[in-house]
Amino acid sequence: MTPAIAAYVGLLLARVGTFVAVMPPFAARTPRTVRAAFAIALTAFYLAAAPPTWDGDFAKTAGDVDPLRYALALVREALIGASMGFVFALFLLPARIAGEFVTQQIGLNASQAQSPSGAEGGGPFTIIFETTAGLLFLGVDGHHLAITALHASFAKFPLGGPGLPEFGPHLAALSTAYEAGMLLAGPLALCLFLLSVCLAIMTRVAPQLNVYSIGFTIQTIVALLGVLFLLPEIVRGLAFAGAANVDAANFLVR
């Protein structure tokens, strides 16, 4: 392998590897060997089927490139890959925010389980919301969009070239994700608040009623029924938040 080819493969692997490392479900608790194998396989596919273009000026000196310049080029490719993976990771963020908020309102924080997003453990309602968001992401071919965006990035940002993507859309998508998460949890939080008021009134009317013995069960049942009843609106809210992430991804590569 010539130095130029080695430099080319290193730049390609840096962008693809960071994209895989940041994007769920490969982030967080996914074994490093799995992430590394997927990144290497995707890199090998590009090398064999559709080799991306790289910057002409960088290609002329790739055989005898300065180590510092090559290190900066690797950092640039890693930033591009991480920024794109971050945009698609925001698809699951509203679901996690809403699920954690509802879980905390009910008091199920102690019952943690493995999260579908591969992040740290989440409560029961976090798993419900994230599973719904993940199925929606796959249902609208979000994984195809991710690969398409990665492929399009090589045309806008050639390997080893100058320039970085603008990070303004990332901040806008992050803000939209937090807002969407709180809006998703709002109706359920209101139901749980009204239920708490009713239980407090019942305690005042009938002091012998043990709220602690029935309140937890009633809150859980009401929350489950609320999720079932509001499921269409939850899906619409997740789709709205996902549309903002799609706009951010399109802005990166158009």
Digit-coded pLDDT (tens) for 138-174: 887 778 888 888 888 888 888 877 777 777 777 777 8
Contact 150, 19 (CB under 8 A): yes
Using DSSP, state whether 197 is helix, strand or coil. helix
Cα 126 from Cα 8, distance rounded (Å): 42
The crossing angle, in degrees rounded to 10, of helices 124-139 and 93-106 is 160
pTM for the model stands at: 0.77
Q: Tokens in use for 201?
A: 């009134």
Contact 83, 167 (CB under 8 A): yes
Residue identified by tokens 């399109």 is 250
Using DSSP, state whether 31 is helix, strand or coil. coil
> Which ranges of the chain have pLDDT less than 70?
1, 25-30, 55-65, 109-121, 209, 211-212, 244, 246-254
